[in-house]
Amino acid sequence: MSAERIVVAMSGGVDSSLAAAMAAETGAETIGITMHLAGSQSRCCSLEDVEDARQVAERLGIRFYVANYLDAFRREVIEPFADAYLAGETPIPCVACNKRFKFDHLLERATVFGADRVATGHYARCERDPETGRVRLLRAVDDNKDQTYFLFQLDQAQLERAWFPLGSLSKTEVRERARALELATADKPESQEICFVPDGDYASVVEAIRPEAKKASGDIVDAEGQVLGRHDGVHRFTVGQRKGLGITTSEARYVTSIEPETRRVVVGARRDLECEETIVREVSWVSGQVPDAPIRARVRVRYRHPGALARVEPCEAGRVRLCFDEPVPAVSPGQAAVFYDPDDGQEVLGGGWLTRRQG
């Protein structure tokens, strides 16, 4: 690594702490920045995390700053999160956070500092294609920690300046190296929840942001429209959900669709969740070039989804049609559909947002 100055996004966790240490080890001037995003109740980027990041920066002997983005985070991440639930979708705020804050906003700060690159603790890899000169976004070596699903919106300009030093390490190796460097965060537990929903109660967050959600009750119906029960708001449901439906039936029922216009939650059998094709909106292509013909891809429709082979057909207005080789269950509107190379599934080709399914 030959950059003279590197800005590191330091969240206060072990991953970003080691990323900062690895940046400093290159001999480059390293600057740590913690982005204060979600307030005191957050499980990430909280005041406690700020202090943890500061301790690591002091240990490494690097400059450290805190950037306050509370208002922007509410406007760009939390409010769209609430609106998506009210629209019958299941949002992924981590994608918007990574795109807007870990890269858009942070790269702006890096430019002010005169930094050449931004390093983060993401488990992902970048590699330049020798034939095209473009930067390829690749899955991490540690498949269990890979985070490329959340990075599909990054463009070539951002990838040119991004460095993911943990991409070739396992989580075990990260902690071992952090302990060897005596970093205060070496054994800090990691949170699995969305940072601004620390107790997992999504509905309460939605209702706090959009109080009208408390009045959005409606019917739970089957595919024929027969009313099976009542609910307290469409924001309390997601496609594929089985538990907590509040109805009693002779066989298991799953949420198959959500109709925010009528406030109906439709339930059915597990087989009713199978999706053969769907439309994906607001598609981003990592290369920056939209395919001029259908392509083959391995598509992940949620973070832990192993991926399903599909034909990706470009449509108008930044959309594509996904035609799966075999039906895929529980395709939820609002989740991301991320396209990978169909052969080994390592390279991210692009991705977008799932709409209401068809077929």
Q: What is the pLDDT of residue 45?
A: 61
Q: Per-residue pLDDT tens for 235-287?
A: 999 999 999 999 988 899 999 999 999 999 999 999 999 999 999 999 999 99
Query: Which of these is catalytic: 45, 94, 195, 275?
Result: 195
pLDDT for position 34: 95
Confidence at residue 181, expressed as pLDDT on a 0 to 100 scale: 98
Same domain for 341 and 260: no
Residue 64 has pLDDT above 90, yes or no: yes
| 297 and 250 both lie in a single domain | no
Distance of CA 90 to the CA centre of its chain: 12
Q: Are residues 174 and 320 in the same domain?
A: no
Residue 205 forms part of a structural domain: no
CATH of the domain at 253: 2.30.30.280
Which residue in the list 97, 275, 315, 323 is annotated as catalytic? Answer: 97
Same-domain check for residues 11 and 44: yes
CA 263 – CA 33 distance, rounded (Å): 43
Verify whether residue 94 is a known catalytic residue: no
Query: Does residue 290 share a domain with residue 149?
Result: no
**Look-up of token digits 């002091």:** 58
Q: By residue range, what is the domain housing residue 167?
A: 5-180
Overall pTM surpassing 0.85 (yes/no): yes
- Mean residue pLDDT across the chain: 93
Task: Name the H helices within the chain.
Answer: 14-25, 47-60, 70-73, 79-86, 93-97, 106-113, 156-161, 171-180, 202-209
Instruction: Show which of 234, 256, 272 is a domain's final residue.
Output: 272
Checking DSSP bridges between strand 135-139 and strand 347-354, what pairing results, if any?
antiparallel
Instruction: Classify residue 353 as exposed, middle or buried by CB count within 10 Å of its CB (0-12, 13-18, 19+).
Output: buried
Strand (E) or helix (H) holding 125: strand 124-128
- Same-domain check for residues 286 and 268: no
Q: Compute the average pLDDT of residues 144-164.
A: 96
Residue 359 has pLDDT above 50, yes or no: no
Question: Has residue 187 been placed in a domain?
Answer: no
User: What's residue 151's pLDDT?
Assistant: 97
Of the candidates 156, 180, 204, which is a domain's last residue?
A: 180
- CATH number, position 140: 3.40.50.620
* Same domain (yes/no): 38, 27: yes
Mean pLDDT of 136-149: 97
Number of domains in the chain: 3
Could you give the CA distance from residue 18 to residue 1 in angstroms, rounded to a whole number?
15
Q: Is the pLDDT of residue 16 over 60?
A: yes
Q: Do 22 and 38 share a domain, yes or no? A: yes
What pLDDT does residue 44 have?
58
How far apart, in whole angstroms, are the C-alpha atoms of residue 85 and residue 80?
9
Partner residues linked to 254 by β-bridges: 268
Residue 72 and residue 46 share a domain: yes
The pLDDT of 162-166, averaged and rounded, is 97
Mean pLDDT across the stretch 330-355? Answer: 96
pLDDT of 358 higher than 50 = no
Residues 263 and 343 in one domain: no
pLDDT at 152: 97
Average pLDDT (106-132) is 95
* Residues 265, 349 within the same domain: no
pLDDT digits (tens, 9 = 90+) for 24-56: 999 999 999 999 887 645 555 677 899 999 999
Please report, for the domain that includes residue 298, its CATH number: 2.40.30.10
pLDDT value, residue 43? 54
Q: Tell me the pLDDT band of 1, cut-offs 50, 70 and 90.
A: very low
| Domain limit, last residue, from 157, 180, 203 | 180
Mean pLDDT of 205-228: 95
Given CA atoms 222, 227, 228, 229 in this order, what sign does their dihedral have?
positive
Is there a catalytic annotation at residue 44?
A: no
